Chains A and B, each alone.
Chain A
Amino acid sequence: MRVLIVDYGAGNLRSVARAVAHVGGEPAISSAPGDLAEAEAVVMPGVGAAADTMRNLGEHGLVGPLKEYIAGGRPFLGVCMGQQVLFDASEEGGEHPCLGLLPGRVRRLPDGLKVPHMGWNRVRIVRPHPIFEGIDDGSFFYFVHSYYPQPEDPSVVIGVTDYAVEFPAVVAKDNIVATQFHPEKSGTAGLRLYENFLRVASGVKLA
């Protein structure tokens, strides 16, 4: 299945594309708003700051098409910054409005531990979801981030991780799944997550 990887100038796309290809998908990297209208599955990666991400999405004319794509009920996977920008606003570098697709705010990790939270940490599954098929509860994933989302609706949280605070490592609502960690850098568990996304996206019923 063809998977559109949204390119808004934020790096890391090659790794995501290779992970998608590794599990049998056909990655297509594009920054063209028209491609979103026709996509069957979308991955939005992202590194860097929320304000830059929103500005880049805006400059590429992608904000409207992204919202329309998600509103259309088609499968969407957000990764790292691609998760954070789904919320209403981020406090990174001052208050910045984000896409507002999930109610909630993005906050800075508390002082005391080293920030960024960089390395392998466990994800505890708090709600079963097809994206976790074949992934053990407590599996390790690779994180690199200084901010974390705080959803208003706790029921969107399906996986959590502890780092000074317990924060949502994976959120899901309807056709949206988003991870704070980088599945494309998380070895076999991460590849399995991409595989699950492809299976969900192609409508395969999971056991």
Chain B
Amino acid sequence: MLTKRVIPCFDIADGRVVKSVRFVDTRDAGDPIALARVYDAEGADELVFLDIRASPDNRKTAVEMVQRIADEVFIPFTVGGGIRSTEDMRLMLESGADKVAINTAAVENPNLIAEGAERFGSQCIVVAIDAKRAGPDRWEVYTYGGREGGRPTGIDAVEWAERAVALGAGELLLTGMDADGTREGYDLAVTRAISESVPVPVIASGGAGEPRHMYDAIAEGKADAVLAASIFHYGTHRIREVKEYLAGRGVPVRL
């Protein structure tokens, strides 16, 4: 049986982890490669590195970081942030990333999804969606990073998810913006609405504060994977602890 995945996420700036991790040696706390190794050893199923800014001004740093992760970590990882063309995708994938996540660039140019899927295969094209509640059973897609408030697009999140998959997205990384940062649990309604509308895996993101929230995202939200940052980085809950909790409640996980 396919297991549900538990995925730690790192925010990157200039090749370093932005929110440093508290439970490792301070020397390693901001080093993405050292942290990747730690989380791999703890049983992380995949890793996600966001905001790497693979844009021209910072491309070399991003490439070197991706290469070093690929050299030392033998589990899959996704990179996202600043990927705006198939050329950016190629650079990241050739450097060793398994998947690339695109968000704003996909909304502004949906053909990028199709071009990436055609050229590299759907399996490595992750479309990240930031969704904010806009009414009962309705969520709106935001671009330019939920964290700075983002920009409303007027696009319905469920419709966008379906379109992204039709264009070739192999996976969706869904952040419920209303829940993000609250540590009070994922936005289960939008997670479920999207997960039940698309035939590809959905990674739930935003709002994890304890293992129970991850169970809810899988059991109620129908997510295929759960992503979290701060609860892992602060050491509030360890990855193995979360996976043991999920296993105890009957969720298939890799232990």
Contacts and interface: CB of A to CB of B under 8 A. Distances in A.
Is chain A's interface secondary structure helix, strand, loop, or mixed overall?
A: mixed
Contacts of A135: none
A18 B70 contact: yes
Contacts of B235: none
Interface stretch (B118-126, B143-151, B155-163, B177-185): B118-126
Interface residues of B, number: 32
Interface string B76-117: 100000000000000001111010000000000000000000
Contacts of B130: none
Interface residues of A, number: 36
A144 B201 CA distance: 11
A185 B70 contact: no
B140 interface: no
A191 B74 contact: yes
Contacts of A187: 40, 74-75
B2 A119 contact: yes
A22 B40 CA distance: 16
B124 A47 contact: yes
A143 B98 CA distance: 12
A182 B93 CA distance: 15
Contacts of B187: none
A22 B170 CA distance: 29
A49 interface: yes
A104 B40 CA distance: 37
B74 A19 contact: yes
Contact of A121 (B2, B98, B120): B2
B3 interface: yes
A119 B3 CA distance: 7
Given A15-B98, A47-B121, A119 B5 contact: yes
B2 A163 contact: yes
A185 B40 contact: no
Contacts of B120: 11, 47-48
Nearest to B98: A185
Nearest to A142: B76
Contacts of B40: 187
Contacts of B124: 11, 47
Interface in A6-36: 11-12, 14-15, 18-19, 22
Contact of B76 (A115, A122, A163, A185): A185
Interface of A: 11-12, 14-15, 18-19, 22, 47-49, 113-122, 140, 142-146, 162-163, 182, 184-188, 190-191
Given A114-B200, A118-B170, A163-B1, 18 more contacts: A11-B94, A15-B74, A15-B98, A22-B74, A47-B120, A48-B120, A49-B121, A114-B199, A118-B123, A118-B201, A119-B201, A121-B3, A145-B123, A163-B2, A186-B74, A187-B74, A187-B75, A190-B74
